[in-house]
Chain A
């Protein structure tokens, strides 16, 4: 949906038009739910947090003046809802974050060129996905949020800056560390292919 279309719906929702608000939910619920799922790590919390996000958005609509895109504002509220909850849990640990990670049947990978579609590869793919998900969940929240926004939601660095309130330098450094930590975890689990850099005859390094 374009920013214009969003703005029109937001304006209508601000005047109390529930249909317009529902259309915004239609458009964003999948993204917000997925964001919450990758930040909290499980479906139960993802559902709760995504609901919380939409409720906060609904209640804050009167304050939304359109200086940032509605999508950015929504993402910000959603990620704040998740971070609030994660931090609250850290102070008062409960079990659900420690439960084993579930991966739904029927999930379809968005892109993974390196992996074929045979049964063995499917198993490998699921194993890798599980490991990646668990590794993301093992990251500190501050790293997890930038990683999820960048690599799963494809936000630009500037959008992440706007959304998190961090400086560009901090976003860069956290993203770098997040990816490096994730990489280390995958290496330890031997989930990265072993040989992928070689030196060609002229001494130049190339990738396989």
Chain B
């Protein structure tokens, strides 16, 4: 080693962060070269000087200020948790299977409609079992990473977007991040005004907190709407009475792959089964494979699965459930809090108008609109969850027993 190669290694040498060979080479060189030895010694002294810097005391007002700021935060944390749980729940319910973006499928489920794109993979190629779920979760873990700073989250969201609609989207939840990606997962927006169920107040109402900063990104959902294009949106038929707070609400689904002697006949049987159980069924045939989505009241799930199994030979079966009662109650509480805030804002807008404070009124109005949008998105999530819990879903793959597909 010569002076030029040793120079850049001096810092790491002192930290003992070089390979053994490099450590030895640097030690050997600096024991012979006066200039490098001097440089090494100077750096050593510099480090000592650096480390002599005293620790400074935290100012006395630090904690009180921090506590106050935390208390003033809008109750977004509960919403963040609920949103994260939602993202975790949705893919598990498997939309990747159908090759549709989760929002599109979410909308489809609410309407009792499932769309089977022609190019979607067959179940034999893409088994939707625990392994697939694990793979999906592994993927989401990798994209979210252990270090969830805003920039990373934004990067992860980009990565998620590039890897296709089936990937679990990750959105930055730290609201003051440098450049949050808006619309990483656009929640569908309902047309009607949200009318949230009455619920207890969230812990920290924050009248003066800027809203925009903490908004869940909301963007237009045309993609979701287009995803079910052609179907009558008006047929949404499932209505669920508002569940009481902290109810045990389960989203239940089962995946069954079945070999049947006659797929067309089996499809017919499924229709009858659905009718008998007062459920619904959607059936689609693609490249010789039949797929069906059967929805029944959760209490009829076992009966439905037995009946389905009787149709042929079950080649794969998986069942999962997810309790979303907590998320639902969190969302309700959050919505009630936001509703209060919005009411106050509307009053403030009126007051500003009557006082002729045009700018103030416009600002407050924008804030109120943003709030309304966010509430609408949350209401949509809530509706989705409530509807999803009202019916158990059975995803079926029907293959002819002769294996010809």
Measured CB to CB, the residues of A under 8 A from B are 14, 16, 18, 25, 29-30, 33-34, 37-38, 43, 46-47, 50-52, 54-56, 58-68, 72-73, 76-77, 80, 84, 103-104, 106-115, 125, 128-129, 132-133, 136, 147, 150-152, 156-157, 162-163, 165, 172-173, 175-176, 178-180, 182-183, 186-187, 191-193, 196-197, 199, 204-205, 207
Contact = CB atoms under 8 A, between A and B. Distances in A.
A61 B32 CA distance: 53
Contacts, number: 213
Contacts of B56: 33-34, 37, 43, 46, 104, 107
Given A132-B49, A176-B8, A192-B45, A62 B84 contact: yes
B47 A62 contact: no
A51 B69 contact: yes
Contacts of A68: 146-147
B349 to A, nearest CB: 28
B227 interface: no
B150 to A, nearest CB: 7
B147 A67 contact: yes
Interface of B: 7-12, 15, 17, 30-34, 37-39, 41-43, 45-59, 61-63, 65-66, 69-70, 73, 76-78, 80-81, 84, 141, 144-153, 173-178
Contact of A110 (B31, B46, B52): B52
A76 B269 CA distance: 58
Given A147-B50, A207-B41, A47 B173 contact: no
Contacts of A25: 63, 66
Contacts of B7: 176
5 contacts: A33-B58, A77-B174, A192-B45, A193-B45, A196-B45
Nearest to A114: B48
Contact of A128 (B32, B33, B49, B80): B49
B77 A59 contact: yes
Nearest to A78: B149
Which applies to chain A's interface (DSSP): helix, strand, loop or mixed? helix
B31 A186 contact: no
Contact of A50 (B33, B62, B175): B62
A60 B45 contact: no
Nearest to B151: A80
A156 B61 CA distance: 32
Contacts of B69: 51, 55
A30 B55 contact: yes
Nearest to B13: A176
Contacts of B54: 103-104, 107-110, 129
Contacts of B150: 56, 60, 80
B42 A58 contact: no
The interface centre, meaning the residue of B43, B47, B55 with most chain A CB atoms within 10 A of its CB, is: B55
A73 B8 contact: no
B80 A59 contact: yes
Given A172-B11, A176-B11, A179-B11, A56 B174 contact: yes
Contact of A62 (B33, B81, B151): B81
Contacts of B12: 157, 172, 175-176
Contact of B149 (A80, A110, A128): A80
A136 B81 CA distance: 40
B217 to A, nearest CB: 15
Given A16-B78, A128-B52, 9 more contacts: A30-B55, A54-B66, A55-B73, A65-B148, A77-B174, A111-B51, A128-B49, A165-B152, A205-B31
A67 B145 contact: yes
A197 B66 contact: no
B34 A61 contact: no
Contacts of B152: 165
A63 B144 contact: yes
A152 B53 CA distance: 8
A93 B173 CA distance: 29
A151 B51 contact: yes
Nearest to A176: B11
Contacts of A180: 10-11, 43
Given A68-B146, A150-B15, A182-B46, A60 B174 contact: yes
A65 B141 contact: yes
A131 B141 CA distance: 45
A158 to B, nearest CB: 9
A106 B55 CA distance: 10
B49 A205 contact: no
Contacts of A34: 55-56
A84 B175 contact: no
B62 A59 contact: no
B70 A55 contact: yes
A206 B177 CA distance: 51
A150 to B, nearest CB: 7
Given A43-B56, A62-B77, A197 B147 contact: no
A30 B58 CA distance: 6
Contact of A63 (B9, B33, B37, B84): B84
Shortest beta-carbon contacts, A-B, top 3: A67-B146, A107-B54, A112-B52
A33 B62 contact: yes
Contacts of B57: 30, 104, 106
A165 B69 CA distance: 29
A5 to B, nearest CB: 18
A42 to B, nearest CB: 10
